[in-house]
Amino acid sequence: MERVSRRGFITSAGVGAIGAAALGGAEAETAAATVRAAGEPAPITLRVNGRARALSVLPRTTLLEALHEHLGLAGTKPGCERGECGACTVLVDGQTRYACQMLALEAEGHEVTTIEGLARGEQLSDVQKAFVAEDAMQCGYCTPGQVMAVEGLLRHEKDPSLDEIREGVSGNLCRCGAYAHIFKAAQRAAAARRNGGK
């Protein structure tokens, strides 16, 4: 269960007080109810990696928080949490998205794929195999996001050029500087896909 921080409580209470002072009667009650509702968990069902997952989240909960903290899918990494590093990249309906920039409520009714959803049992996907074969990681923290960015690219471009690969992963930062290996991994995975891989 998420705890309300002191700052969040003060902010909510302040907004409610201001709203009540500015409005009268029924309008004030409606404004107060809205503030209360913003702090109450809501039940949602997310379709993640082909499975429906029921959970209860606050309206402000990001998809990243829902995946990582509520569902235990630790491959979706918190990084900058400002949409700048790409560590939390997932696929939503096959399109790459930063999970930190999307509310969990927005993801309801959509298909979410995380790094955990690429492998089939112990069998890695072509992209995952390519990252291992090309040693496309050092510390590994950004790797799940990089893999998901390449996966998203290859779902829409079967034979990407090097420039298209660079653009495809340009929203994912690697502090270790393993970019040359990441590009090679993307090329290897693309070749495997063209030869009937998955």
Domain limits for position 70: 42-117
In this structure, the answer to whether residues 33 and 74 fall within a common structural domain is no
pTM for the model stands at: 0.79
Residue 142 in any domain: the answer is yes
In this structure, the answer to whether residues 31 and 46 fall within a common structural domain is no
Q: For 121-161, how does the pLDDT look when each residue is reduced to its tens digit (9 = 90+)?
A: 999 999 999 999 999 999 999 999 999 999 999 999 999 99
In this structure, the answer to whether residues 132 and 111 fall within a common structural domain is no
- Can you tell me whether residue 103 is helix, strand or coil? strand
Residue 31 tokens read as 């404004």
Q: For 77-90, how does the pLDDT look when each residue is reduced to its tens digit (9 = 90+)?
A: 999 999 999 999 99
Rounded to a whole number of angstroms, the CA Rg of the chain reads 20
Backbone phi and psi for residue 121, each to the nearest 5 degrees, phi listed first: 65, -125
Number of folded domains that form the chain: 3
- The confidence score (pLDDT) of residue 97 equals 98
CB 115 within 8 A of CB 67: no
Q: For 12-55, how does the pLDDT look when each residue is reduced to its tens digit (9 = 90+)?
A: 545 444 444 455 566 645 544 444 456 799 999 999 999 999 99
- The confidence score (pLDDT) of residue 196 equals 81
Last residue of a domain, one of 117, 150, 180: 117
Taking the C-alpha atoms of residue 62 and residue 80, their distance in angstroms, rounded to an integer, is: 13
In this structure, the answer to whether residues 133 and 105 fall within a common structural domain is no
Question: Which CATH number goes with the domain that contains 139?
Answer: 1.10.150.120
Hey, CA dihedral for 115, 120, 123, 129, is it positive or negative?
negative
Q: What is the DSSP-derived secondary structure letter of residue 4?
A: P
